[in-house]
Structure formats: structure tokens, C-alpha cells
Structure 1
Amino acid sequence: MRAIGLMSGTSMDGIDVALIESDGETVSRFGPAATYAYTDAEAALLRTAIAAAQDLAERSARPGPVAQAEALTTRLHAQAVRAFLAANGLDAGTIDVVGFHGQTILHRPERRLTVQIGDGAVLARALGIRVVCDFRAADVAAGGQGAPLVPVYHRALARVLDRPHPIAVLNVGGVANVTFLDGVPDPYACDTGPGNALIDDFMRERNGEGRDPAGAYAARGRVDQEAVARVLAHPFFRMPPPKSLDRNDFRAWVAREAGLDACTMEDGAATLTAITAASIAAIVPHLPAPPRTWVVAGGGIHNATLMRMLAARLAPASVETADAVGWNADALEAQAFAFMAVRTLRGLPITFPTTTGVPTAMTGGIVIAP
């Protein structure tokens, strides 16, 4: 099947679009990929919706800014797919399915609640293409964490990867998650802690940019190792998998324990980057075995300071970007939702007891005809 995957992650920098050809077991062809960036105003509305969603009691509730953000999310995803098709000389009639993740605005699996905005039915009609959406809800309703979802795709890629095993695939988005692969049938995975979210939010408060380009500010700063230790004392880091996070779960804890209000922008960026690296390394004792190879994807690969810190924390294992092993690091999650859309159509599982803690392997996603 020819499938397009769409991903708007918790970093909220834009919409990733990717095309693959797959039977849901392997990928026979990797097609083009692109990112369509959000404007500052669009990203601001998404952040407002996340703030408004914190008190939601039902998945279907759409208070004012949430409804506005959902309409915007759907419209921008439709525009992104149309632009992608046009840029690559593709006809909508040649696409079998679109995997549409939407935008996560609340993730509370302990309440059996996860909310992704974006109207799959409206998107299917706008594109004239079958859409699979709402990938997380069934898993959470069954008692799973609803995250991470991408490990089933990591497994397909790693099967043909010529690197020493065990392999850990690390995605550093707003939240970081890891997939452990060692030849066993089901992947083993969990969220590890904050990814880029803490750094992005700090930089937005300090200079309005919303990120530390290439880790340049962090590279000039001094890490407060005592602050790192205080943050890493959070019980989450001692919990065994399965476990998952909402984007903002650590904001209050870090604000209290790291005490960055009086520090320079460079020192704050350095300390938060060190917290992300240390929290990722803290998962190693909870994995079935120490990975020999780490493959890193997501926006975090563009932060050179973070990559250096990860290499130091995870030694003697090798740490490589997904691009370095022949994958597309920036498109990986979009490709994954294309892959999972095909699996959903075929009735194949996308989550497992070893990835989300769901009682039994299960498929997910709602199929919507145009």
C-alpha cells in the first residue's frame, strides 16, 4: 500500500509528512518527506489549547480554544498533504491511506484519558483519501499507557539494520522515548522523560525563540550538576516501564527543583540539556540489557550539545543519528504513522504489553472513508 503519514509532535514546530510503501510488516519503498512549519501564531494557539485542556474530563470536550485549535489543526494538515502531493507530482487517487496522528493536547493514561485534536472525517473528505486516526484511544481505554506507539515501526527498520545488538532507538521530541530491540518478537519501550520541551519552553521565556538552535546557548553555559541531581530524584525515573508522559508533566517539578530563575540563559540551557541527557541515560538499568547501539531521531538530533552529552552518558555504546544509519531522522514518526495506518487496515497490532502495558497486543486507529 502507498501510505502517507502525518505527525505534529509535542514540540509543535510543524507538520511532518512522509510517504512509504508497505504491507504493514516491512517497508518496500521510502518515498519523499517534508515538514510544513507552523507560524508563531499557529503554534501559540496550539499552546493555548494545551493549557485549556489540562482540566478536561472527557475526550470529546472541546472548550473554546480547543475547538479553534482542532479546526486549525485539521485545516493545516489538509493543506500540508495537498502541498506535499503537488510538490512531488502525486495524485491523491494513488494514495491508499493517510495515517493522521493529530496534535496531543492532554495525556493522562492513569485516568484512561488521552486527547488528540484533529478531525479525521473532515480531513478524509477534504483529501478524498481514506484516513486512519485516533491511534491511542483504544490502548488507553484498555488500560495501556497509549505511548509510545512508534516502536512497532522501529522494529521493522531495525530488522535490517547492520549494527551491534541490542539496539535502542531513541526519539527526542518534546518528550523522549526509547525502543529496545534485541531480536525478540515484541519491542520493549517507554517514555524516558523530558526531551526538548523543557529547553524550548525556557528559551521561549528568555528570548522568545522557543528553542536553542544547535545547542549553541547550552554549549556556552555551565551545567548546575546539583540541579540535575535534584530533578533526577523524581520518582518517575526510578519507575520501571511501561510508563508515559504528558508534555508538561515536569514543568512544575523542574521549576521548583532546578531553580533556574536567576541563572543566565546559557547556564539554564546547559542545565536543562543535561537534565534531558541524564534522564535518558537513567532508563538503561530498566532495560532488559544495556544497548550496544543507540540510534537517535527527532528534533533533538539537531542539538549538538545534547548529542555530545548523550554520547558521554551512554558510553561505551555507540550513539548515532538515524540519518547516519540510513533512516530519515526528521520523518521517522510521520513514516511510522503511515506504517501503523497500514497495520490498522490489516488488523495487525500496533501496541503490546511490552510497549504500553496494554494487557494484550492490540490494533488501534479508526478507519474513515472519504
Structure 2
Amino acid sequence: MLNTNYNVIGMMSGTSLDGVDLAHIKFSINNGKWSYEIKESETIPYTENWINQLKNGIHLDLDSLKVLDKSYTELIAEITNHFILKNKLQDVDFICSHGHTILHQPQNGITLQIGNLPELAQKTKHKVICDFRVQDVAMGGQGAPLVPIGDQLLFSEYDFCLNLGGFSNISFNRQSKRIAFDISPVNTVLNFYAEKLGRNFDQGGSIAKSGELNKSLYDELNNLPFYSQKFPKSLGIEFVHTTILPIMEKHILSIPDLLHTFTEHIAYQIGTIVKGVKGSMLITGGGAYNTFLIERIKQHCTSIRCDIPDEKTIEFKEALIFGLLGVLRERKEINTLASVTGAKQDHCSGKIFLPN
């Protein structure tokens, strides 16, 4: 008989490099309906040294990647142990870890999330469920996005679920199937330019708001082939480095103008997805705090009611859903949707490591 209650830790590190998100979550299922409560939660920021290592991971050779993988696993084990001790957590069923994406080239059959080694279970002395993307890529899928199963099971009252993190991604139901895909870069680009001004990010989008739209750059971004591709489709940091930044850099503009134009680009691309549809949209992720970006999204989504939830859901929704992915893996239930990733079938993904 399957359990109906689970006490887990969900862990996530995104491409925006804010840090490691940890959430202590209690899940329960009653008559097929899932509910959750996010208890203690925290984002542990990366040191400057770790930010640089993770940014440069894409350029490492295989041996250097293995070294990085091991040291990153040790880092998140230490972070998790501190979180458990600090919050006096007891009877944790398991830890559900996404790890940190270093390589994501599904078209080449490659995706790598570091931090998903068996040592994580040994060092935390807890069962660990992790590495959710690799199996999907092996089955011909994009390995992303994985969050939509959580949108479907936990936030079904919304017509659309939009996440604004390193990249924007959206999920919704169409003809009884969950559809989801990445839309465009967000904080991977916005933070890149904010950092040139000595800031970690553009607070509230104030710098972007002070700039002006450059029509030439705006049109060039909107005409990129990725935006006309059919879903399923996903983006990795490679797209930012090889495609977006070279386009941005060839336009000799002030940083406020670059930020303003890219913010408008983000909002426009979101608007194209929901055009002509009436309904509601849940907005989460760090970008939900960017008031200028939200203002522009609302201008491009006039028939959609945009809802921004409580702070814990904004900041820890992905950690929450990776917790759910772990629970579904434990129950041997589907946690990855072929309609979303393009894999040959729905499947139950994730590795399980037990402490000695």
C-alpha cells in the first residue's frame, strides 16, 4: 500500500545562479488530489568562486567536469546538512535534488546536471532521489521542462503557469494533454548586464525602465529561428552565449537601453503564446519581482489575468516541484510527460541512492 503523506526536502539550482533553493515540504494525496505545504525554506547564495566555476563549467573537459561534479556534490551535501540541522528537521523521508545544469544539448543526446552523485546520500545520511533529466534525453526527449507535471497536479486551477527564472517557460493543457516549453532567456541575460553595472540584478527592473527601446535590436531578437520552432523545445545557457549575447553586443547601446529592449522582447514572446486566449496565469520565479517586466507582460497579455502568489511559492516553486518529482519516483508513478519533452512515452524518471 502506497503512503499518502510525504515529508521531503526539495532542492534546486537554476541557471540564474542565485544559489541553492531548499524547501522542506509536506505532501499529501487524498482521493487522487495532491496538496502541499512549504514549511522551512531558504536560498543559500553561491560564493563568487562558485559562481565563476558554474559559469565556466560549459568550457571544461571531461576530467575537469568530473572533479567539478564531485566538489559540487560535496557542497550541496554540506548545505543540506546545515539546513536539516538549523531547522531541526526530523523523519525526512528523502531528499529530492535537481542538481545544477552544466550542459544541456538534447539535440546531441547530452544533458548534465552536476551534484547528483551517490556521495550525496552518503554525506547527508538520507535517501536521495535525483538526476531527473538524463533518462528523458535517452528516450529522445528534451529532458526539459520537468516542472509541468507539478503544474498539472498542484496548480490545475490556472490556465497557464509561467515561470520567470534564468529562462521563461510556460505550461498549459491543450486537448487533454499538458503542453510546456521554454519561451526565451530572462535572468540569464538581464543579470548579465546588471552585473556590468556592479549589481547582482536589476532591482524591480528600474534600470531597464529608464532605458529606451531599440527597434533594430528588438526586431532582430524576435526574428530568431528558435521562436518559430514548434514545441517541444528547450533552452540552455549555450543559447545565451552563442546566440543572444553576440546579437546584443553588436548593437552599440547603453546598458539601460539593452535591458529595456530585452525586457520588452521577453514580454512580447510571452504574449505571442497566450494571444487571443482568455484566462488566468500564475507567475512565479525571481522575475516575478521585476515590476517593470510584469508591467510589460500585462501589456502584451491583455486578455489574461496575471496572478503572483505568496513569496514562498514565487521563490521555491521549482524546489517544491522537484520534491514532487521525487515523491512520484518513489511511488513509481509517471513524473515526466512525453507531450512536454518529446520523449517516446511518458515515464518515471530519477535515480535513487541509499546511504550505507
The TM-score, its normalising length taken from structure 2, stands at: 0.91
Separation (CA, whole Å) in 2 of partners of 1:253 and 1:241: 19
Residues 26 and 156 in structure 1, CA contact (< 8 A), matched pair in contact too:
yes
The aligned counterpart of 1:51 is 59
The aligned counterpart of 1:157 is 154
The aligned counterpart of 1:223 is 213
SS in 2 for 1:278: helix
The aligned counterpart of 1:127 is 124
Alignment of 1:188 onto 2:179? yes
Residues 23 and 40 in structure 2, CA contact (< 8 A), matched pair in contact too:
yes
Alignment of 1:342 onto 2:327? yes
* CA deviation after TM superposition for structure 1 residue 213, in Å: 2.0
The aligned counterpart of 2:229 is 239
Question: 1:78-132 CA deviation, whole Å, 9 max, x = no partner?
Answer: 12222222232213xx111111111101111111111111143111011111001
Separation (CA, whole Å) in 2 of partners of 1:72 and 1:364: 25
The aligned counterpart of 1:293 is 280
The answer to which of 195-204 and 216-225 deviates more is 195-204
AA aligned to 1:189 is A
* Partner residue of 1:197 out of 188, 193, 197: 188
Alignment of 1:22 onto 2:22? no
The aligned counterpart of 1:63 is 63
The aligned counterpart of 2:8 is 3
Separation (CA, whole Å) in 1 of partners of 2:176 and 2:127: 30
The answer to which of 329-338 and 254-263 deviates more is 254-263
Unaligned runs of 5+ residues in structure 1 are 54-61
Distance 1:10 1:97, change over 3 A: same
The aligned counterpart of 2:338 is 353
Separation (CA, whole Å) in 1 of partners of 2:80 and 2:94: 12
AA aligned to 1:346 is R
Residues 20 and 339 in structure 1, CA contact (< 8 A), matched pair in contact too:
no
The aligned counterpart of 2:73 is 74
Identity, % of aligned positions = 29
Distance 1:68 1:257, change over 3 A: same
The aligned counterpart of 1:87 is 86
The answer to which of 137-146 and 112-121 deviates more is 112-121
Unaligned runs of 5+ residues in structure 2 are 1-5
Residues 202 and 210 in structure 1, CA contact (< 8 A), matched pair in contact too:
no
Alignment of 1:177 onto 2:169? yes
Alignment of 1:312 onto 2:313? no
The runs of 4+ residues in structure 1 deviating greater than 3 Å are 255-261
Separation (CA, whole Å) in 2 of partners of 1:71 and 1:176: 29
AA aligned to 2:146 is L
AA aligned to 2:69 is E
Separation (CA, whole Å) in 2 of partners of 1:363 and 1:23: 19
How many residue pairs get aligned? The number is: 347
Residues 151 and 189 in structure 1, CA contact (< 8 A), matched pair in contact too:
yes
Separation (CA, whole Å) in 1 of partners of 2:286 and 2:244: 21
AA aligned to 1:18 is A
SS in 2 for 1:120: coil
Residues 11 and 174 in structure 1, CA contact (< 8 A), matched pair in contact too:
yes
Separation (CA, whole Å) in 2 of partners of 1:202 and 1:248: 17
